[in-house]
């Protein structure tokens, strides 16, 4: 009698086997660094713009890719009203601002138009921005990620060559939970984590008194627990917020500001990781 075994047919096994992805590099740059955090509103975009401008200030050629399709921040934070041009009808040229090459979905739609898109459309937009933009001769592209661990993060982790990710968080318990999820996601997807940044770390009054509004040293502790590098603390600072809203990031507006110096120190640490 035939011995029958219960199991998956070869054809079905083929369908359910883990998919292997080809990682495409973004042409026109040597390195790609993503700025991420699983939680929203912790200062990823503010960090990404000022960090990119700090890398520029220490001599690198830099681009910023705004990967937040539902909530692009780059046009407002970098003060860009221009639309990208296409010479050949196939690729788009990034918009130059403060010596940095920039691309955002926000360049292509009105400021108050909502992007009512399902996941596959977002993935397709990300592929266009990484493959069809004529990034030119850059050392670094800084990718400003949306919050969460969704389609955009997965597309970058699986299908695009990302050389490293910087995780930004506030030191608050509820934000740290998301940081741990973020660390586990990037570890699982084998994207190197370059380090963690503690944003809105504390508030310092004019008299020099420090207030730990969101808690103390939380991000540094998570970095230690997960054996990741701790890159630094950025305090809550009104000049940083005003500069972001005015369209000229603080690092560009006031390079000697104490907060700009912190960004520069982080840029120098990242430089060490690459060169
Ligand atoms: N260190 C800081 N001091 C003062 N204000 C800050 C600081 N960091 C960020 N902000 C302000 O906090 C708000 C949220 O920052 P931002 O938009 O950069 O966060 P985000 O993580 O990119 O948000 P999202 O998840 O929506 O993309 C902005 O108004 C920004 O100007
Ligand atoms: Mg943002």
Query: For the whole model, what pTM was predicted?
Result: 0.92
Choosing from 34, 35, 38, 43 the residue with most ligand 1 atoms within 8 A of its CB, the one to mutate for a pocket test is 43
225 Cα–ligand 2 center, Å: 26
| CA–CA dist 219, 226 (Å, integer) | 11
| CA–CA dist 24, 30 (Å, integer) | 13
Beta-bridge partner residues of 140: 31, 62
pLDDT of 38 reads 80
Choosing from 35, 37, 45 the residue with most ligand 1 atoms within 8 A of its CB, the one to mutate for a pocket test is 45
Closest protein CA for atom 25 of ligand 1: 40
41 Cα–ligand 1 center, Å: 5
Question: Which residues contact ligand 1 via a Cβ below 6 A?
Answer: 40-46, 68, 71, 73, 146-147, 199-200, 234, 236-237, 240-241, 244
pLDDT of 30 reads 97
The number of C-alpha atoms within 13 Å of 49 and in the hemisphere containing its C-beta is 31
Beta-bridge partner residues of 32: 141
Contact yes or no for 191/66 (Cβ under 8 A)? no
pLDDT tier, 273 (very low <50, low <70, confident <90, very high otherwise): confident
- Tens digits of per-residue pLDDT, 217-243? 999 999 999 999 999 999 999 999 999
Closest protein CA for atom 29 of ligand 1: 241
What ranges in the chain are assigned the alpha helix state H?
Answer: 10-16, 44-57, 74-77, 119-131, 151-159, 173-188, 218-225, 238-246, 250-253, 258-274
- Tens digits of per-residue pLDDT, 159-196? 999 999 999 999 998 989 999 999 999 999 999 999 99
């Amino acid at each position: 009698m035939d011995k029958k075994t219960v199991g998956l047919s070869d054809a079905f096994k083929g369908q359910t086997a883990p998919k292997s992805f080809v990682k495409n590099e973004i042409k026109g740059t040597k390195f790609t660094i993503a700025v991420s955090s699983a939680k929203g509103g912790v200062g990823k975009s503010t960090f990404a713009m000022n960090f990119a401008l700090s890398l520029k200030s220490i001599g690198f050629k830099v681009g910023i890719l705004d990967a937040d399709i539902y909530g692009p921040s780059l046009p407002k934070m970098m003060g860009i009203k221009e639309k990208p041009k296409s010479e050949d009808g196939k690729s788009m040229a990034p918009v130059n601002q403060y010596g940095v090459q920039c691309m955002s979905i926000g360049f292509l739609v009105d400021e108050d138009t909502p992007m009512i898109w399902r996941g596959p459309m977002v993935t397709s937009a990300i592929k266009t921005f990484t493959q069809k933009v004529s990034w030119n001769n850059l050392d670094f592209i800084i990718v400003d990620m949306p919050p969460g661990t969704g389609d955009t993060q997965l597309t970058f982790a699986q299908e695009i060559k990302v050389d490293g990710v910087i995780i930004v968080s506030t030191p608050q318990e509820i934000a740290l939970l998301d940081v741990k999820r973020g660390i586990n996601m990037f570890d699982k997807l084998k994207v190197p984590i370059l380090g963690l940044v503690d944003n809105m770390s504390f508030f310092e009054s004019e008299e020099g008194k420090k207030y730990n509004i969101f808690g103390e040293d939380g991000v540094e502790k998570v970095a230690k627990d997960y054996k990741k590098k701790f890159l630094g603390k950025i305090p809550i600072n009104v000049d940083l917020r005003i500069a972001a809203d005015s369209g000229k990031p603080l690092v560009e507006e006031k390079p000697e500001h104490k907060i700009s110096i912190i960004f520069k120190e982080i840029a120098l640490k990242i430089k060490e990781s690459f060169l």
